[in-house]
A and B are shown apart, each in its own frame.
Chain A
Amino acid sequence: MTTPEPIPPPQGAWAKPVDRLKAAGIPASVNINVDGKQLAGPLRGFGQMWQKTYRLRLDNARVAPQQVVAAWRENFGSFWPKINRFYGSSSGIQPGEVALLDLAGPYGIRAPGDHGLVSTGVLVIYADEVSFSFMTPQGHMFGGMITFSAHEEDGAVIAQIQALIRANDPLYEIGARIGMVHKMEDEHWHTVLKNLGQHFGVASAVTQVNVLVDPRLRWSEVGNVRHNAAVHTGIYLALTPLRWAASLMRPKERT
């Protein structure tokens, strides 16, 4: 048996540390819960910590893991369910880039004007040829890190999403305990993997494994609720008529 050749590590795959997020130049309708927020991640959340792994076997696709991840990075938002929107920067999924998310509520409910009920975002913390990872900001449903990857296993390429997450605050944790938040999360990533599979002409079933990593709550993080993106988005949407009325009363600029 020969020893495998050592391979050089990827360069520039990690994002630089950021104190606060800034979503610059992204054409999203609402950016109220990202600019100025800090990264939360799985360690700063409130609820139980879960590791969820979703996998799709790309049988007979005749692609390399690198090709899968390249296509995934290039078409990331288009693989999402139609009820949720992903607004990335023009440079795509690159380390250090911020993306905005516009997410529907339970049962795919969206607000009038086709606004999502939760406006939040992610930071791309890592990206190489076979994987990329996002980390969530304060206010997101989950404090978490989610990694998208592809690798070979038993003669087939496996596309995988692995989330290490905990509900960011007590309100989200209640939603998680009654199953609503996890159901939405699971349906979302199942659809993404199915759409990725369809891109390569594969219609395999998505498998899912959940592991409860830490069952305890982090009461020191109970104050995260002040950043709750669902609450802030709800207030923003409720005040839309007032903002519209105020804009009518504002004197128009002379040209």
Chain B
Amino acid sequence: MTTSEFEAQVRRQEQIVIIDMQGVINSDAESGLSAAYEQAEAASSQTIVLNFSQVDYINSTGIALIVGLLARARKSHKILAVFGLSDHYREIFNITRLADFMQIYQDEASLLAA
């Protein structure tokens, strides 16, 4: 497996806003992820969802960025959820305790059905 640069697109799906992420989430992803989150926040939805299904890799700086987003969501009384986590990413979410604080869905279909 190889990795590519981070990209993020924001789209609205029913009552929620989804940030589709691609590539590597590391320190280089900070500005792109932050811009995407601001765009999602401006879409006046109560729930913002991070789509990890196209993420190649996340390092500890990337996890810190996600923690930061979670804090921002909490500050503005929004719900931050995720879907598309591989088993490896689930392990990372467990060890960093992110799993205790975020709603995790298997995929987009289960998110929309919830």
Contact B59 A126 (CB under 8 A): yes
List, in ascending order, chain B residues with CB within 8 A of A162's CB: 61, 64
List, in ascending order, chain B residues with CB within 8 A of A192's CB: none
CB-based nearest B residue for A38: B97
Within 8 A of B (CB), among A200-248: 213-216
Contact A39 B95 (CB under 8 A): yes
CA distance A43 to B5 in the complex (A): 28
| B contact patch SS | helix
Sort chain B's interface into a size bin. 20 to 34
B3 on the A face (CB < 8 A): yes
Contact B94 A17 (CB under 8 A): yes
A73 on the B face (CB < 8 A): no
CA distance A141 to B71 in the complex (A): 19
Partner of B100, one of A14, A44, A147, A151: A44
In the complex, per-residue mask of A128-141: 1 if CB is within 8 Å of any chain B CB, else 0: 10011101000000
Contact A133 B60 (CB under 8 A): yes
A51 on the B face (CB < 8 A): yes
In the complex, per-residue mask of B93-114: 1 if CB is within 8 Å of any chain A CB, else 0: 0111110110000000000000
In the complex, per-residue mask of A87-127: 1 if CB is within 8 Å of any chain B CB, else 0: 00000000000000000000000000000000000000110
B4 on the A face (CB < 8 A): yes
Contact B59 A8 (CB under 8 A): no
Partner of B95, one of A15, A51, A132, A216: A15
**A43 with B70, Cβ < 8 A, contacts A7-B3, A8-B3 known:** yes
Q: State how many angstroms separate the Cβ of B40 from the closest Cβ of chain A.
A: 18
Partner of A16, one of B2, B56, B67, B95: B95
Give the number of chain A interface residues (Cβ < 8 Å). Answer: 37
List, in ascending order, chain A residues with CB within 8 A of B12's CB: none
CA distance A44 to B95 in the complex (A): 13
A56 on the B face (CB < 8 A): no
Contact B97 A39 (CB under 8 A): yes
Contact B97 A147 (CB under 8 A): no
Partner of A43, one of B27, B56, B100: B100
Contact A8 B95 (CB under 8 A): no
The interface centre, meaning the residue of B2, B63, B72, B91 with most chain A CB atoms within 10 A of its CB, is B63
B24 on the A face (CB < 8 A): yes
A145 on the B face (CB < 8 A): yes
**A9 with B3, Cβ < 8 A, contacts A149-B27, A149-B61, A151-B27 known:** yes
List, in ascending order, chain A residues with CB within 8 A of B11's CB: none
A159 on the B face (CB < 8 A): no
A197 on the B face (CB < 8 A): no
Partner of A145, one of B24, B27, B67: B67
**Given contact pairs A126-B60, A131-B61, A133-B61, a sample of 16 additional A-B residue pairs in the complex whose CB atoms are under 8 Å apart:** A6-B3, A8-B2, A15-B95, A16-B95, A17-B91, A40-B97, A41-B97, A43-B67, A44-B97, A49-B71, A135-B96, A145-B60, A145-B64, A147-B60, A151-B27, A214-B71
The 6 closest A-B pairs by CB, nearest first: A133-B60, A6-B2, A9-B57, A126-B60, A214-B71, A17-B94
Which residues of A are interface residues toward B (Cβ below 8 A)? 4, 6-10, 13-18, 39-44, 49, 51, 125-126, 128, 131-133, 135, 145, 147, 149, 151, 162, 164, 213-216
